[in-house]
Amino acid sequence: MKSPKMRGQAFIIFDDVQNSTAALRSLQGLEFFEKPLRIQYAKKDSESIKLIRAQENATAAALAAAAEKANAPKKPRIEKPSTPAEPTLQQQHIAMMNSEEVLQAAEMVTAAAAEAELEQLPLKERQRRIQTVIAAQSTLIGTLPIIPEQPSNSTLFLSNLPNETTKEMLEILFKQFTGYRDVRLIPGREGIAFVDFDKDKQATIAKDALQNFKITPTNSITISFAKK
C-alpha cells in the first residue's frame, strides 16, 4: 500500500484460515529488514476470496437446482403411471465414490503409499521430510480430552516416535510453548524421548495440544507425564 497511513504494511492472502494461522504463528516477530514482523488477521476478507466464495456458492446453488429439478416427480399421465427417474450413471458413480467404504479404502491406500515411499528414502531425507511435516502442522493442532494417568509434573514422556526422530525435530514442536526447557533422547532407546518444562502447568498445556500428533502417516505421538 502506497498511502502514507499504510506505509510499511502489506496484505497476504491465503486460501484458508488454517494456512494463514500457520504462517502467522511461524513468522510472528521474525527479523525482516532489521525490524520484527508484526502479523495479525485483516479485519475482513479480500475481494479475491469473496469472488471465489461467490463463485463456489453460485456453483453449489446451480447444482442443487439441477438436482432438485432432476428429482422432481413427473406429471402422471392417465394412460401410463409415471415412475421415479433412476439415477444417471454419473450420479451412481459419484454416490459410489463418496461412500464410506470407498473413502476409508482410499485413505488406507494413501497412508500405506506415503509410508512405503518414506521407508525407501535415505535416512537424512526421511528426517528432513518428517521435520518439514512437523513445521507445517505444529500450528494447526487442536486440543484433545485429558486422559487420567500419572500425576502432572514438569517432564513429559514421549513414545511411538519414528526411529529417525532427532532432537531438532522435537524442538520445532515443543519450543512454541511457554516454559520449554529441553528435549532429551535416550541413547540406545529408539522411539521415546523426554521433554522438560519450567512448570507443571506449562507441560500440561503442551501435552494436551500435541497428544496424538501425527508425525508420520503411521506414527502418532503418545504423550504422558514422566514418572518421578
Cβ count near 164 (within 10 Å)? 21
Contacts of 224 (CB under 8 A, 6+ apart): 149, 150, 156, 157, 159, 207
CA distances from 160 to 122, 164, 215 (A): 21, 12, 10
For position 75, what pLDDT does the model report? 67
Tens digits of residue pLDDT in 112-126: 566 666 666 776 776
- Burial of 215 (C-beta count, 10 Å sphere; 0-12/13-18/19+): buried
For position 15, what pLDDT does the model report? 76
For position 70, what pLDDT does the model report? 79
pTM, to two decimals: 0.40
For position 62, what pLDDT does the model report? 82
Euclidean distance between CA atoms 29 and 38, whole angstroms = 6
Contacts of 198 (CB under 8 A, 6+ apart): 154, 179, 181
Half-sphere exposure (CA, 13 Å, Cβ side) for 42? 13
CA distances from 11 to 8, 139, 183 (A): 11, 20, 36
Q: Is 45 helix (H, G, I), strand (E, B) or coil?
A: coil
Strands across the sheet containing 155-159:
180-185, 193-197, 155-159, 222-225
Tens digits of residue pLDDT in 180-227: 999 999 898 889 999 999 999 999 999 999 999 988 888 889 999 998
Beta bridge partners of 222: 159
Domains identified in the chain and CATH numbers: 8-65 (3.30.70.330), 155-225 (3.30.70.330)
* Closest C-alpha among 45, 46, 28 to residue 37: 28
For position 102, what pLDDT does the model report? 54
Low-confidence spans in the chain with pLDDT less than 50? 139-148
Euclidean distance between CA atoms 190 and 155, whole angstroms = 18
Euclidean distance between CA atoms 216 and 214, whole angstroms = 5
- CA 177, 141, 169, 212 dihedral sign is positive
* Residue 193 near residue 210 (C-beta atoms within 8 A): no
